[in-house]
Amino acid sequence: MLRSPVMIRSMHGWVFNIQRFSLHDGPGIRTTVFLKGCPLRCAWCHNPEGLESGPQIRLTLNLCTRCGRCAAVCEHGGHEVTAETHRLRLADCVRCGRCAEACLIGALEMVGKRMSAEDVLAVVRRDVPFYEQSGGGMTLSGGEPLVQFAFSRALLRAAKAEGMHTAIETSALAPWPRLTALAPLLDLWLVDLKHTDPTRHRALTGAPNRRILSNIRRMTDAGWPLILRVPWVPQRNAEPGLLDGLLAFLRSLPNPPPVEFMPYHRLGLGKWAALGGESTMPGDIPAADRAEIEPWAERLRGAGIDVKLD
């Protein structure tokens, strides 16, 4: 197997997780590299640690003994520690990481690490035998990988040079030239579509969807390998307008891609508090019921669309 070019050693980016043995981010067994930074602010985001581009402090409260070492070394007042609780003061935090270094039990940690492309590939390469047996490979996710375009391109170029299957999970909210630059390096695009209605999309994500829909159309026209991933979130986008709009959009495409519904889960709720913020999803909203999604899938299948549930 060819080794990646020496030049990728000088290319650096912000990574908040490298998940090995992933089974939901493309075919086979995969290594998913989660990059920081995202232009969207989806109401149901389950990876809030991927929203900001730089490092963040994460507090695992049930590990904290409230010893006060973090507050003692913090010169900016970023921690409020009492005998009863420990709170992060994000407005005062400069994210220097001294508090995490002072924490002896790992209740505090820095989320987000600046890594070279070569450092990332060194982790990814450990799973090459599993890729070869299962048809898997490397997937870039986030956050939004296209926010770190140069870093993503370096990772994909190196992976392809070593014969790996490559995929990316993206909202496609990026200039078209960026997508075309990555296209030769990708075996699969996993494009998340939150809503087809522009008003609802902006309300749910904080951003317009005109460029997203245009890019999806151009990608399918070009015959790129693409799966359209649609989050199904109760009391948010799981509404008749989404299904009607999705069906109309797919019918307007000469070559509609397969659709994968992704049921909302509640695993991300605790992450917001750990980062010192408040969840954008109320705690009383239930996880998605697959039985409720199946009629949506059947309607699309009736229109000739290949559909699966995550």
Average pLDDT for 10-28: 95
Query: What does pLDDT average to over the chain?
Result: 94
pLDDT of residue 106 exceeding 90, the answer is yes
pLDDT per residue as tens digits for the range 227-242 = 999 999 999 999 999 9
Q: Please tell me the predicted confidence (pLDDT) of residue 66.
A: 96
Question: Encoding tokens for residue 284?
Answer: 């009383």
Average pLDDT for 21-44: 96
| Banded model confidence at residue 10, pLDDT cuts 50, 70, 90 | confident
The pTM score is: 0.93
Residues 224 and 184: their CA atoms lie apart, in Å, by 10
Got the DSSP string for the chain? -PPPPGGGGG-EEEEEEEEEEESSSSSSSEEEEEEP--S---TT-S-GGGTSSS-EEEE-GGG-----HHHHH-SS--EEE-SS-EEE-TTT-----HHHHH-SSSSEEEE-EEEEHHHHHHHHGGGHHHHHHHT-EEEEEES-GGGGHHHHHHHHHHHHHTT-EEEEEE---S-HHHHHHHGGG-SEEEEE---SSHHHHHHHHSS--HHHHHHHHHHHHTT--EEEEEEE-TTTT-SHHHHHHHHHHHHTSSSPPPEEEEE--STTHHHHHHTTS--SS-TTSPPPPHHHHHHHHHHHHHTT--EEE-
| Banded model confidence at residue 277, pLDDT cuts 50, 70, 90 | confident
Q: Domain-by-domain residue ranges, the chain?
A: 6-52+113-309, 56-111
Residues 296 and 308: their CA atoms lie apart, in Å, by 11
The domain over range 6-52+113-309 is classified in CATH as 3.40.50.720: no
pLDDT per residue as tens digits for the range 127-176 = 999 999 999 999 999 999 999 999 999 999 999 999 999 999 999 999 99
- By CB atoms closer than 10 A (0-12, 13-18, 19+), residue 16 is buried
Bridge partner list, 139:
32, 167
Average pLDDT for 250-273: 93
Q: Please tell me the predicted confidence (pLDDT) of residue 130.
A: 97
Q: Please tell me the predicted confidence (pLDDT) of residue 171.
A: 98
The domain over range 56-111 is classified in CATH as 3.40.50.1860: no
CA distances from 66 to 56, 84, 96, 144, 163 (A): 20, 8, 20, 35, 49
Q: One fold for both 6-52+113-309 and 56-111?
A: no
pLDDT per residue as tens digits for the range 66-84 = 999 999 999 999 999 999 9
Residues 217 and 223: their CA atoms lie apart, in Å, by 10
Q: Please tell me the predicted confidence (pLDDT) of residue 2.
A: 45
Average pLDDT for 179-190: 98
What is the amino acid identity at position 158?
A: A
pLDDT of residue 4 exceeding 90, the answer is no
